[in-house]
Structures are given as structure tokens and as C-alpha cells.
Structure 1
């Protein structure tokens, strides 16, 4: 044996072992079969009427009908065996006219669903020579409209409306055709068309609209006369009359338009318009009822002396009307053919962007709700906000309007107004009266003591001054005067009444100061060589004598009056003063 034979055999054995150890998945995969190739559709045969495809045949027939070219329209009808149209040209034209009218009134043809293939649809389960255009379910019995592929004179295959369909045209005409009255109309009224409707149909629509409007007006007048006693007790009935009469007119128009035998397209358009009009009128009715309810509740609140709650009522009315308006808008869009579900889904996806864009509006809305709920101010309140002062006239969804003392109107966004420091003067239970009396330095201590007692008597005796607290104090020695502070609260219903009481108190204080023998100081830094007025020695002596008598008898009402004396003085002052027009 050769020395090279052993290594060769060893290599062969190792190779065989490796091949045996390979898994089955490692075997080369068989070549895949080539995918089936769908043959491209054959081009449509040349035809002067474009009847090479089902879609072309239907479009051509409808175009010829719109152009009133009835001789051309008959070229799309398979009249073989259809008597008498097969042999009579006038009958063929009449058949085409009636067929087009019946199709327009009973069948909404979807041209996009028709085949552009010369061979027609192969997945409809019909004979290869037949394609379905649509089904007239309103017919009795229902009828399917077919196209059929027939041979032209030269043998080329084209599409026409089938003979079986055309034989049913007389039956369809009896159900959906013109009435006998139309046959007596002048030719222009029947033959002239505007936007797919014949002239007599336009005249009929105008007549129906006029009759519906006349009925609505008449019904409103009759209902107003019959329901007059009820409207006196329930004013909301009056606001509902006009919308309800309008709804009656719309219902009459919708029910009567079937007499005109309009096309399906016109009926769909008018039906959508009637639905939108009905929604608008219902929205109008809802708005009027909300306004009437708001007025009724506001009147009750005013009767109960709760006029401030009217602001919340106004805000609620606006919120309800806004919600009704949004729902009405969505319903109108739905009737107009807009996909509201998709629209709302799109708004949901873009909700973050909308929220960012409407951030300020939402802040103002919640600010308005905060103002109404917390009620720092109400409509009619006199308040100070920031550096301005005025009367609140309106609290809206977005802003609050305040009438200033200059009679200008200030509009503040609710988000800002709700976060401002607001001083509400209308909520005051009492008015603060605090003048400071600057008396001459020539006044003696006993004159000051007498004034303290006499001025307190004025406060305690006045019926519009709250005695708790009511005080007069000698508070300081000023640069040019002896200062007495009067501190009291005045019971008044508004600021005007407070000014009346303050005026009376000021006059009585002047009389009391004059009676004490002293006077008010005149602040001045000018040097003078004579006194600014002679001292009333007699009055001063009388006051000092009376204070001495108080000391001797133990009746000096300093530093405060006894409760018994306060009760004895209460309401004894003559107010309104004698001679006032306010005295009864």
C-alpha cells in the first residue's frame, strides 16, 4: 500500500462524517416558484360615444341627458327587442327621457364604483357580459339596473343599458314619472333646466316656500290670539311661538316637496338644508327659552332682595347657551356631511396644542367662575381694585366690566381681576367717621375738657352714630394746634347717606367748638404782631365754671362717660335738624 493512500482515505472519511452531521435545515432550499403576474387590463376599444367601459357608458348617457341631446342618449340603450322604441325614433327618444328622469329620481349612481375595465367587473358574481349599475329599492318590486356588453355593427364589444332594464321603464314611469298635469304645461317650463331641475319645479319650490312662510305667520297670529290668557301667566309661551311657527313652515315645505318629484340629488340637498334649518330653529328656540328662564329667575331674586346673585345667573345663562351652540354646530356639521367623529378625534390628538393656544381663555373662564363662586364683588358693588375705583356692571365669561367715577368703562380679564386685591365698599356694615380737630393753643385745659365731654354727647346723642365705639380724645400737641381726634361709626345704607350724616356732625362740632369759647387753629409760619382774634373771655369763664361744678359734684365725664349717661343721651339729638325738609 502506498504511503499517500492512508491520508487520502482519512480525509475522505472526515468529509463524509461532517456531511452526515449537517442538520436537515442546512440543506439548500428549493427554488421558489415565480409569483403569478396579473395581466394588465386591455385598452378600451375606440368608440365615438365612449362606450368601451361600463363607467364610460354611464357617464356618456348622463352627459348627453344633461345636454338634452336625446338622439345621442339613445346610443347608450340596447333597444333590440324593446318595442316600440326599437323601430320608432321618437319612441326611443321618449324612452331615453323617461329613463333619465326615473334614474335621477330613484337611483344615486356612484360613478367611482363602476369599472374602467373594458371587460367589466369580474368579482361581482354576475355574467361576464353584465355589470350592475345600482338597485332601485323604492320601486315595487325593486329593480336592478344593468349594463350589458353587446356587439357593435362592426363586431366591437361595447357597453349599453340592458334590454331587461329598459323593458321595465314603463312600469317605473307609472310609479315615479310626471303627473298628467305636467303634460299640459308649456314646453319651456318642462324642457328648460337650471342646476338639474326643470323650470316648473323651481316655480313649485318657490310657491311651496311662500306657502310655508304664509302658514307660519298665520299659525303664529292664531296661536297668539288663542293663547293670550296663557301668555299673561307664562311669558315663556310667547317666546316659543315664533320658533314653533317656523318649524311648522319647515315641516310643510319638507312634506310637500314630494309633489314636485325632484331628483335624488335635489331631494338630498333640500333634505340636508331642511335638517340644518330645523337645527338652527331649535337652537333659536333653546336660546329664547334660556333667556326667558333667566329673566324669570332674576325677577324672583330681585323680589327676594338678592340682586347680587343675578351675576351668577347671567354667567350660567351664557354657559348654557354656549353648550347648546356647540352641540348645534356639531349636529349641523354632521348633517352637512362632515365626519364629526373624525373631527373630534383630530381635536383630541391636537388637544395639547389647542390647550396651549386657549390657555389665556381658560384662565379667564376659571377666573370668572372663581369670582362668581367666591363673590368678592357682585354686579352693582362699588369697589377699589388696583389704582382704580368704580361700580361693577358686568361679570362675563372672559372679563369683568367696571364703570369708573369718570364714567369710563374699564374691562379687566377675569384671570387678572380674580387675583387682584379688591376693596368692596358695598359690603360695609358701617361708615368710619374720623375727623381731627385742630384747636388754637390759646385754649385752656378746662375748655379742652368741656369740649371732650360736649363732643361725646353729640356722638352719643346722634341717632345715626353707633355708640360702640364712639370717642373723642385729646391725641396730641401739634406744631400749631391742639389736636382732638373724633372716632365713630355711622350707620348708613350707602355712601350718600353717610355724607349727609357726616355733614350734620361737622356742623354740630363747629357749633360746639364755638360755644366753648375757643376756635380752630390756622396753620401758619408767618410772623404777626397782633393776635388773630380776640379771646371770648366771658365764654371761657362760663366753660371753666361748668367744669369746676362737674368736679365738685363728681360728674366730670372723663376719661369716659358712665353707661347710664350714655343710655340717657342715646337718640336725644335733634336729627334731621329742625327746619330740614327731611323732617316729617
Structure 2
């Protein structure tokens, strides 16, 4: 299973790297071909348009002529036009264009249609920054243009630039000077619209669907690009399904996890990238580009892919830890995966906010300061969690092990994220902080493959040499023939003369890790030694407290 997952996972990573470079190329391409307009600026423009008209209504500046449509200054005039078009009110919007002295051919297009076409041109190629347009009744007199004209930008068609102008014209009713889109610009609208119009399908959708926009993108555009994404996803899913069928033929025992990854997040990611690459630029406005630069769906797709990769990695590591006899480390995979996913969400959110035009550096600085404060406050907790990770991965002790820690003995009952619970020989419970526990001298008795038998024997000085030698030889023979005693190391020697008596060195290992079984075996061995001592007339030295104090 591990082999198959690793092979498919490597293949998936290659596909993802390719998709990453494709998405980076597409994103860079779209940025280089459009003005840098963000979703934040689009939302602010709508708000500024409303504020401009409200300020004009409340201001009652005597220097600015009163007008029902707030056309007394260039800024409020263009703001009124933009708001009228966003509301879908073509009749109202037509009041902001100057139709005087234009050709019959242009006028035949229709006043309302000219207002609509002009809005399409602005949406496609010109971002109107209201703050750069004068709010003086006479406009900006220092822009090098005639005093009755105000420039709101330039539009390029086949490397030739055309000025988009506002003009101060007399109002038809009373000859009061107001601002409208210049008749010179109105005359160019059909030409500019022919260069920047939507596709026939886009035009039909724009005319027949309600004039509703979300984040500056029209309703028909949301439907159009959503349908495109759906079509690319169906194609991508079909390709993924064929790839899965092929992998099943090559690796019949392959697990379902990598296959679900290919048909799910990987297919969706490729669909998003393909949709961004194949987008029809004729239906793309500056607002659409801004939303695309936000990369909301692309970021979501990458997050989904990363989440599923983390889940696959958890499966691989779990199998690896079990194979290494570290089952406790498996419990760490879930919180570690959660932390990794949280980190991905934070990074993706910051990137998304930056793409939308919001300043995420302030939020990042706040998170850094807050994280530092949290880290200082939770320093001990973090130390204990790191200690738990060490205990889980290196596994010096496991649950159920009998061990010595420091000067205490007990059985490990639980290894938590904060502390380790140990049941002592007195049946009491001790909780030791993990950070402290891993720094202790830990002796794990449960890891012994056998248990030593080392009796302390002191014989009286009156014991004869041949008796001691016979005793040792017969004891060694008995140990060598015992089925529960390891063949080596095995020692039976006369070790040394001491002031207390003749010291014997006897060492053997009982082949068991069960302490109760060990006690049964050494009980028999001790009785055998006692019998051999009597048989060979070897007397044990009695050591009293006075002799011990003297030594």
C-alpha cells in the first residue's frame, strides 16, 4: 500500500507543479495586459460616487450651479452617470452625454444605446478614478486643455490614443453651464464600441439579463464565466476519470485515497487553471480582471489540494510509524495536520486579501505581535507539547511500560500533550510535565529482552578450596542445562577476599520479560543453590549490622 501511494503521490506532485507554473504564467499574463485595478478600488468607486452626489446635494455651494442631475462640476457629473448605469437606468444615464452637433449616423444609434455603449467602453478599457477629477465648477484649469474641457482618461485603439473628455456646456432650459460627456467623445462612441464590444453571446446576455453587479461584475458575466468553469471542470473530471482507470489497470491494488485526490481537488484545480487560460478577453472588463486577480477560486482550489495532500501524507506516515513500532506517534498526525492546514488557511487568506487590494501587512504585523504574546504566555505549554512530540516519536517509553524515572518507579498509563501519568509501586499516580520528563534519566525495564540473576553470596573463610570449587562447577553445570537460562553470559567464580568473607560472583540471565515468571525461576534457582551449598559443606557468612558498619 505504501509503495502504491508513494508512486501515485509522486505523479500527483508532478501534475501539481505543472499546474502551479501554468497558473503563475496565466496570472502574470493577465496582470501585464490590464491596468492594476483591485476589487477594493471598485467597491470604493461605487461608494465615492454615492458620497460625491450626497455631498453635492448637502453642500449647496453658491459657486456650483444647482442641477437636478448634479452636473455642476465634472466629478459629480461622471459619478452620476456611473451610478445611473450601475442601476441600469439608461434614460437617466443619457442626461450626462452631450448630443449636440453629432452626426446623424451616430445619433441614429440612439441616445440610451450610446450611453450603454460608452459604459461598456469604460468598463473594458478605462478605470475612472473620481479623486483625480476636479470638483470645481470650472474644472481643472491647469491641465493644458481648454477651460471648458476636462479629461477623464485615454483609450488606445491600435496604438492610437483617444481622449475621453467632459465638456462644460449650456443647459438647454436656462443656458446655465453644466458638465456632460463631450460631444467629441460621444461621436467616437460607436467606433470605440466596435473595438471593445462584447462577443455576440455577451451582448445578448448583457441586453436581456438584469443590470445587477456584484463587486463591479455584471450578473451576466458571473453566469457566463461560471458556465465556462463548469464546462472546463466536466472536461477535467473526464480526463481525471480516464487517468484513474489507467492507474487501476497498472496498479490493481492501489488504494482509493490517491484516486479520490486525482478525481477531486486535482481535477478541480486544473479546471480552474484551464478556465483562466481560455477566458475570452472580449467579455472581460476591468472589474472581471480585478476579480480574477483576486484568484478566489484558484486559492480555494490550491487549499483543497494542499489539504488532501496533507491527508495522504498522514496515511503514509501512519503506516511508517506503525512499521517502526511507534504507534503513539500516529496520535500526533491529527493535530499536526490541523496545524498545517491552519497555517495554509492563514497564508491563503493573506494572499487573497492582498490580491483584492487590501493591505494585509497590517494584519500580518498584528498576527505577529499577537503570536509573540501568545507564545510568551504559553511558553510552558509549548514546551510540554514539544516534549509530547519527543515522547511520541523517539518513544523512550510506551503506555504500559514499567520504568524508573529519576528516583521513582512506576508504570506509564498515559502520555498526554501536557503531562505523562505514571502509576507508582505504591499504586499512587504521579503526573510529570513532559518537558521535565524527557530531561530525566529514564530506565525502561519493559524493554529488557531478559532479566539478570545475580545472587550475592559470601562464604565463611573456613570453607575448603575443593568444596568451593565443586560447588561452583556443579552450579555452572546446572545453569548451563537449565532451559530458561541463557547460554551466555554465564559466570560462576570465586571473586575476591573481603573482610566480610569469601565473595562469589554468580551471573546468569533468565530468558523472560515476565517478572512473575522470573520470580518463579529464581525461586527454584535459589533453592538449588541452597541445596548445593549444604551438599558441598559451604557455609554462608552471616553479616550483622556491626560488621557492615565496620566496613
Write out per-residue CA displacement over residues 9-42 of structure 1, whole angstroms, 9 at most, x where no aligned residue: xxxxxxxxxxxxxxxxxxxxxxxxxxxxxxxx97
Q: Is 1:277–2:296 an aligned residue pair?
A: no
Distance 1:460 1:121, change over 3 A: farther
Q: Is the 8 A contact 2:414 2:421 kept in 1?
A: yes
Gaps of 5+ in 2: 1-60, 425-429, 457-469, 493-505, 542-551
Q: Where do residues 111-122 of structure 1 align in structure 2 (5 Å cutoff)?
A: 111-122=130-141
Residue 196 of structure 2: aligned partner: 176
Instruction: State which of 412, 420, 429 in structure 2 corresponds to 1:390.
Output: 412
Residue 47 of structure 1: aligned partner: 67
| Distance in 2 between residues matched to 1:557 and 1:108, nearest whole Å | 110
| Distance in 1 between residues matched to 2:539 and 2:477, nearest whole Å | 10
| Distance in 2 between residues matched to 1:358 and 1:110, nearest whole Å | 48
Q: Where do residues 77-226 of structure 1 align in structure 2 (5 Å cutoff)?
A: 77-84=97-104, 91-122=110-141, 124-136=143-155, 141-153=160-172, 154-181=174-201, 189-191=208-210, 193=212, 195=214, 200-226=220-246
Give SS of 1:211's match: helix
Following TM superposition, by how much is the alpha carbon of 1:72 offset from its aligned partner in structure 2, in angstroms?
A: 1.5
Residue 6 of structure 1: aligned partner: none
Distance 1:417 1:228, change over 3 A: same
Write out per-residue CA displacement over residues 475-522 of structure 1, whole angstroms, 9 at most, x where no aligned residue: xxxxxxxxxxx9964344xx44x544544555x469969x97xxxxxx
Q: Is 1:243–2:265 an aligned residue pair?
A: yes
| Distance in 2 between residues matched to 1:288 and 1:134, nearest whole Å | 52
| Distance in 1 between residues matched to 2:388 and 2:369, nearest whole Å | 28
Instruction: State which of 48, 53, 70 in structure 1 corresponds to 2:90.
Output: 70
Q: Is the 8 A contact 2:154 2:161 kept in 1?
A: yes
Instruction: State which of 274, 295, 315 in structure 2 corresponds to 1:252.
Output: 274
Range with greater deviation from structure 2 (79-88 or 113-122): 79-88
Following TM superposition, by how much is the alpha carbon of 1:340 offset from its aligned partner in structure 2, in angstroms?
A: 3.7
Following TM superposition, by how much is the alpha carbon of 1:74 offset from its aligned partner in structure 2, in angstroms?
A: 0.9
Q: Is the 8 A contact 2:484 2:510 kept in 1?
A: yes
Q: Where do residues 6-21 of structure 1 align in structure 2 (5 Å cutoff)?
A: none
Residue 526 of structure 1: aligned partner: none
Q: TM-score, normalised by structure 2?
A: 0.63
Give SS of 2:198's match: coil
Instruction: State which of 356, 361, 373 in structure 2 corresponds to 1:353.
Output: 373
Following TM superposition, by how much is the alpha carbon of 1:61 offset from its aligned partner in structure 2, in angstroms?
A: 0.7
| Distance in 2 between residues matched to 1:503 and 1:116, nearest whole Å | 103
| Distance in 2 between residues matched to 1:215 and 1:501, nearest whole Å | 69
Give SS of 1:167's match: helix
Q: Is the 8 A contact 2:99 2:183 kept in 1?
A: yes
Q: Is the 8 A contact 2:139 2:147 kept in 1?
A: yes
Give SS of 2:354's match: helix
Following TM superposition, by how much is the alpha carbon of 1:390 offset from its aligned partner in structure 2, in angstroms?
A: 2.6
Give SS of 1:465's match: coil
Distance 1:194 1:119, change over 3 A: closer
Following TM superposition, by how much is the alpha carbon of 1:161 offset from its aligned partner in structure 2, in angstroms?
A: 1.3
Q: Is the 8 A contact 1:365 1:414 kept in 2?
A: yes
Following TM superposition, by how much is the alpha carbon of 1:43 offset from its aligned partner in structure 2, in angstroms?
A: 3.7
| Distance in 1 between residues matched to 2:318 and 2:260, nearest whole Å | 12
Residue 441 of structure 1: aligned partner: none
| Distance in 2 between residues matched to 1:338 and 1:404, nearest whole Å | 56
Residue 15 of structure 1: aligned partner: none
More helix by share: 2
Distance 1:197 1:332, change over 3 A: closer
Following TM superposition, by how much is the alpha carbon of 1:278 offset from its aligned partner in structure 2, in angstroms?
A: 4.0
Give SS of 1:134's match: strand
Residue 578 of structure 1: aligned partner: none
Point out which structure has higher relative CO (alpha carbons under 8 A, 6+ apart).
2
Return the index of the structure with the highest Cα Rg. 1
| Distance in 1 between residues matched to 2:477 and 2:402, nearest whole Å | 34
Distance 1:502 1:139, change over 3 A: farther
Following TM superposition, by how much is the alpha carbon of 1:111 offset from its aligned partner in structure 2, in angstroms?
A: 2.6
Distance 1:136 1:291, change over 3 A: farther
Following TM superposition, by how much is the alpha carbon of 1:360 offset from its aligned partner in structure 2, in angstroms?
A: 3.6
Instruction: State which of 246, 265, 269 in structure 1 corresponds to 2:287.
Output: 265
Residue 334 of structure 1: aligned partner: 354
| Distance in 2 between residues matched to 1:113 and 1:225, nearest whole Å | 59
Gaps of 5+ in 1: 1-40, 437-449, 472-485, 517-542, 560-584
Give SS of 1:44's match: coil
Give SS of 2:88's match: coil
Q: Is the 8 A contact 1:98 1:169 kept in 2?
A: yes
Aligned residue pairs total 445
Q: Is the 8 A contact 1:132 1:145 kept in 2?
A: yes
Q: Is the 8 A contact 1:432 1:490 kept in 2?
A: yes
